[in-house]
Amino acid sequence: MIDAPPHRDPLVPPLLDAQGRTMTYLRLSVTDRCNFRCTYCSPASWGGKKDLLTPEEFERIVSVFARMGIRRVRLTGGEPLIRPDILEVARRIAAVPGVEWLAITTNASHLERLAVPLREAGVTQLNISLDTLSEDTFRRISKQGDFGTILRGIDAAVGAGYASLKLNAVVMSGVNDAEVGDLIAYAHARGITPRFIELMPFGQGTPVPTAQLVERLRASGLSLVPDEEPQGAAAGPAQYWRAPGGRVGFISPLTQNFCGGCNRVRVASNGDLRSCLGGRAQAPLHTLIRGGATDAELALAVRRALGEKPDGHRFTEPGAGASLLTMMGIGG
């Protein structure tokens, strides 16, 4: 276990995990509820947490992490934009000293109304989930949600002037894997970077390995060349390729394990810190905050939890899916 030495201020960077990896990126779930019910993410039985953090508590947690060296924050869910106070949450976090980059992952259902206000609140980047261009296929994936509203929300985001827009698609065999080329063309026509994610064992469906997907795209006539552009210490898990219309990303948690370069820590919507996407180890930051803990005490709790972070997820181990939380429960 890595902990702060007794003589050292626990708030002073760097923030290290048990493997000595430096954490610079916080994924902060603001709700685990969603207005969709996607089969791979949101089981019908999921009731959600009842005791969510307030905007002030989110700001407090982010300020502690920022003092420890976190520079990038992503707001996740559930669907973050269903929170009625999401603009206040974004404004508070964007204003925290040390936060250089604030992103939101969204299903775009509220972007038609919120794309511009979110950018004005300080959001730098949007990652938009769009698994299909077919309304019929969308309905197979989610029984809830309005497909037209999603497409209008994406167009609103394109017009809002974000520094970066990404389109995330979870690829499922026999469901949407034949649409990958069309999704690339759709995204590039709008100046968006498309990214394709291997299905993880949180819900229903059969994954398509990234290598197989790349070969299919090449066989269809799409030129793909590995992107050698350095991503730096703030890079995420995606590997990028160059296509005629722009970059294409692939996130491959099953076949191309990205854990070795992990720089991320996750906090769920009720304040539970989770040291790993594929585990259950946690620290109840909300209990500490509401119990009057100092910033130093919060920092020590964070360091202790990260001191138990494994070297990698266990998604591919037999029976692993049965022991994992749902994607909504983890916070994406």
In sequence order, the 6+-apart residues with CB closer than 8 A to the CB of 22 are 14, 15, 16, 69, 233, 263
47 is in an annotated binding site: no
Q: Tell me whether residue 220 is annotated as binding.
A: no
Q: State pLDDT tens for residues 1-44.
A: 445 555 589 999 999 998 899 999 999 999 999 999 888 886 55
Res 329 pLDDT > 80: no
- Given pLDDT bands bounded at 50, 70 and 90, which one contains residue 204? confident
Confirm or deny that 259 is annotated as ligand binding: yes
What is the per-residue pLDDT for 322? 44
Q: What share of the chain is helix, strand, coil (3-state, %, to 5)?
A: 30, 20, 50
| pLDDT tens-digit readout, 65-98 | 999 999 999 999 999 999 999 999 999 999 999 9
pLDDT tops 70 at residue 324:
no
Q: Mean pLDDT across the stretch 291-306?
A: 96
- Residue 319 pLDDT > 90: no
pTM of the model: 0.89
266 annotated as ligand-binding: yes
Residue 25 assigned as binding residue: no
Amino acid identity of 10?
P
276 is in an annotated binding site: yes
Q: Which residue has the tokens 């229903």?
A: 204
200 belongs to an annotated ligand binding site: yes
What is the side-by-side order of every strand in the sheet holding 101-106? 225-226, 239-243, 246-251, 193-198, 164-171, 125-129, 101-106, 72-76, 25-29, 264-267, 272-274, 282-284
Q: Is 34 annotated among the ligand-binding residues?
A: yes
Residue 306 has pLDDT above 50, yes or no: yes
Q: 191: annotated binding-site residue?
A: no
pLDDT at 234 over 80: no
- Alpha-carbon span 139 to 151, nearest angstrom: 14
CA distances from 3 to 22, 166, 268, 278, 301 (A): 13, 36, 22, 22, 9
* Average pLDDT value over all residues in the chain: 88
Question: Which tens digits make up the pLDDT trace of 150-174?
Answer: 999 999 999 999 999 999 999 999 9
Residue 195 has pLDDT above 50, yes or no: yes
- 145 Cβ neighbours under 8 A, 6+ residues apart: 35, 36, 107, 109, 138
Q: Flag whether 265 is marked binding.
A: yes
pLDDT in tens, 247-290: 999 999 888 765 667 899 999 999 999 877 665 667 899 999 99
pLDDT at 149 (0 to 100): 98
The verdict on whether residue 27 carries a ligand-binding annotation is: yes
Question: Closest by alpha carbon to 266, among 313, 225, 232?
Answer: 313
Name the 3-class secondary structure at 57.
Answer: helix
In the chain, the domains with their CATH numbers are 25-330 (3.20.20.70)
pLDDT higher than threshold 70 for residue 313: no
What's residue 1's pLDDT?
A: 46
Residues in CB range of 106: below 8 A, 6 or more apart: 77, 79, 80, 81, 126, 127, 128, 129
* Alpha carbons within 13 A on the beta-carbon side of 110: 17
Say which range, 44-58, 83-97, 228-242, has the weakest mean pLDDT.
228-242
Query: Annotated binding residue at 92?
Result: no
State residue 256's pLDDT score: 74
Q: Using the predicted structure, report yes or no on whether residue 305 has a pLDDT greater than 70.
A: yes
Strand ranges (E), 268-305: 272-274, 282-284
**Is 262 among the annotated ligand-binding positions?**
yes
What's the first-to-final CA gap in the chain, in angstroms? 25
